[in-house]
């Protein structure tokens, strides 16, 4: 894989950084989303034939990272173009691609993603949302929690399970559920974390869907699911790295100017070294994220799965440490609304928890990479 960014990637990074700087931490989500769409950033990973940029997750992760570094991350970039757009582009029918991809690319349509359930957590094998055939239609029943942006999405890509006709076992399948489908209801979750995008619990009460609501092959199972989950992990890493960079930049600027005795506090190694370590950790996480994106974009799903998990883990840890050190550098000022760091203390933890916990990633690496036996 390339060890340095291409000129095209550098140009993209610079342009998105300028966009983020114009909007800043006080950004309006709709205004930023609209401008990013007009500039072609939202669909940079989607096929050119459907109005996208013809790039991949490598390019889309740059967009999210730079917006995050400017203090205005767009969480729905993780969901709409990265997960849903990728899955439909890879496995959707021609009709599904024509119907959804142009809108996802130009920002006029949004799609949410529903996998997490109250009793399943990070274990996709325990999903209880089920789908069964009723004539030519599908009937979908179940519950989902912590689903982002459902209120602004035109549809939600729901992970359900169907019965394998050969084995009788339940297997994962993906269904496009329109927001106004009868029996499909949402309830906001009261979060302590204040974010632009809200979280919802979804209820699917015998939701009737047409045959073309199924995305991809009914028998493909986990292959199609992880085609969306690996980009999700890569983009979560980009989200975390951007947030960490934003916090670190504020701390560095403060440490450079703040003088308590005779020199700026940034001249003291007790302040400077932890900030330098935070920068190193963020840079290392970015390298793993770039590796994961490159593997995914070149079709190495197995290699991308391992790298995406490690990138998400590394970025989550680096983000939490960067935010913590930034707040500590500012002292009491780090907890004031003026400096905008205190809210990141909670937000940074999201990268450790979602979309999969760091403990489950350690399970993955210990089992899949190191070949150690399972404890469960």
353-362: per-residue pLDDT in tens?
A: 999 999 999 9
Q: Which of 55, 78, 109 is the last residue of a domain?
A: 109
Residues 16 and 28: their CA atoms lie apart, in Å, by 16
Report the alpha-carbon angle 270-276-279, nearest 5.
145
* Ramachandran angles phi, psi of 58, nearest 5°: -55, -45
User: Are 283 and 211 members of one domain?
Assistant: no
Q: How confident is the model at residue 30 (pLDDT cuts 50, 70, 90)?
A: very high
CA distance to 113, 148, 171, per residue, from 202 (Å): 11, 11, 21
% of the chain residues with pLDDT over 70: 97
Identify whether residues 186 and 250 lie together within a single domain.
no
**Where residue 172 sits, what CATH number does that domain have?**
2.40.110.10
Mean pLDDT throughout 344-350?
94
275: containing domain: 222-369
Query: Does 86 have pLDDT greater than 90?
Result: yes
Other Cβ atoms less than 10 A from the Cβ of 139: the count is 16
Specify the pLDDT at position 220. 67
Q: Which residues pair with 186 in a beta bridge?
A: 202
More confident residue, 228 or 332: 332
Residue 81 lies in a domain: yes
Q: How confident is the model at residue 48 (pLDDT cuts 50, 70, 90)?
A: very high
Last residue within a domain, chosen from 109, 135, 155:
109
If you average pLDDT over residues 318-344, what whole number do you get? 97
Contact 355, 144 (CB under 8 A): no
- Indicate if 175 and 308 belong to the same structural domain: no
The pLDDT value given to residue 194: 79
In this structure, are 231 and 350 located in the same domain? yes
Task: Provide the pLDDT for residue 297.
Answer: 97
Q: How far is CA 292 from the centre of its chain?
A: 14
Range with the lowest mean pLDDT among 115-129, 131-145, 288-302? 115-129
Same domain, 230 and 209: no
Q: Are residues 35 and 105 in the same domain?
A: yes
Q: Check residue 352 and give its pLDDT.
A: 94
Supply the pLDDT for residue 59: 98
Token pair, residue 169, equals: 């076992």
Q: Does one domain contain both 151 and 184? A: yes
User: What is the pLDDT, as a whole number, of residue 122?
Assistant: 61
Say whether both 23 and 100 belong to one domain: yes
Q: Look at residue 105 in the predicted model and tell me its pLDDT.
A: 97
Residue 1 lies in a domain: no
Task: Count how many domains the chain has.
Answer: 3
Residue keyed to tokens 């029943």: 141
Tell me, yes or no, whether 230 and 362 share the same domain: yes
pLDDT winner (highest mean) among 124-138, 317-331, 340-354: 317-331
Bridge partners, residue 212, by sequence: none
Task: Decide if 197 is inside a domain.
Answer: yes
pLDDT for residue 221:
64
Encode pLDDT of 179-233 as tens digits.
999 999 999 999 988 788 899 999 999 999 999 999 988 776 677 888 889 999 9
Q: How confident is the model at residue 147 (pLDDT cuts 50, 70, 90)?
A: very high
pLDDT given for residue 121 in this prediction: 67
Domain check: are 102 and 148 in the same one?
no
Q: Are 100 and 127 in a shared domain?
A: no
What does the alpha-carbon distance between residue 352 and residue 333 come to, in Å, rounded to a whole number? 25
What pLDDT score was predicted for residue 227? Answer: 84
Last residue of a domain, one of 166, 197, 215: 215
Same domain as 238, residue 170: no
Rounded to two decimals, the pTM is 0.95
pLDDT average, residue stretch 276-288: 98
CA angle (187, 193, 197) in 5-degree steps: 55
């Amino acid at each position: 894989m390339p060890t340095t960014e291409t000129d095209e990637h550098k140009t993209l990074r610079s342009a998105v950084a300028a966009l983020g700087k114009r909007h800043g931490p006080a950004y309006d989500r709709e205004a930023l989303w609209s401008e990013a769409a007009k500039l072609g950033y939202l669909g940079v990973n989607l096929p050119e034939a459907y109005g996208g940029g013809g790039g991949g997750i490598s390019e889309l992760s740059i967009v999210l990272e730079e917006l995050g570094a400017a203090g205005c991350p767009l969480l729905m970039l993780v969901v709409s173009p990265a997960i849903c757009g990728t899955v439909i582009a890879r496995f959707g029918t021609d009709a599904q691609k024509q119907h959804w991809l142009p809108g996802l690319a130009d920002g006029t349509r949004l799609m949410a993603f529903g996998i997490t359930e109250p009793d399943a957590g990070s274990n996709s094998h325990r999903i209880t949302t089920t789908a069964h055939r009723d004539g030519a239609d599908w009937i979908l029943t179940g519950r989902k929690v912590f689903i982002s942006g459902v209120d602004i999405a035109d549809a939600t890509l729901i992970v359900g399970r169907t019965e394998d006709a050969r084995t009788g076992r339940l297997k994962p399948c993906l269904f496009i559920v329109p927001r106004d489908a009868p029996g499909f209801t949402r309830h906001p979750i009261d979060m302590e974390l204040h974010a632009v995008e809200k979280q919802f619990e979804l209820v699917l009460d015998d939701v009737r869907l047409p045959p073309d609501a199924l995305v991809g092959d009914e028998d493909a199972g986990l292959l199609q699911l992880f085609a969306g989950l690996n980009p999700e992990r890569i983009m979560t890493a980009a989200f975390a790295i951007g947030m960490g960079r934003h916090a670190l930049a504020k701390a560095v600027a403060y440490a450079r100017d703040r003088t308590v005795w005779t020199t700026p506090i940034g001249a003291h190694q007790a302040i400077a070294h932890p900030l330098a370590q935070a920068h190193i950790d963020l840079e290392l996480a970015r390298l793993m994220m770039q590796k994961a994106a490159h593997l995914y974009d070149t079709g190495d799903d197995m290699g991308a799965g391992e790298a995406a998990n490690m990138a998400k883990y590394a970025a989550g840890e680096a983000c939490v440490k960067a935010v913590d050190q930034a707040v500590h550098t500012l002292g009491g000022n780090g907890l004031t609304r003026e400096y905008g760091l205190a809210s990141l203390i909670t937000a940074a933890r999201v990268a450790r928890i979602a979309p999969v916990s760091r403990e489950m990633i350690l399970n993955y690496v210990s089992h899949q990479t190191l070949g150690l036996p399972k404890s469960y």
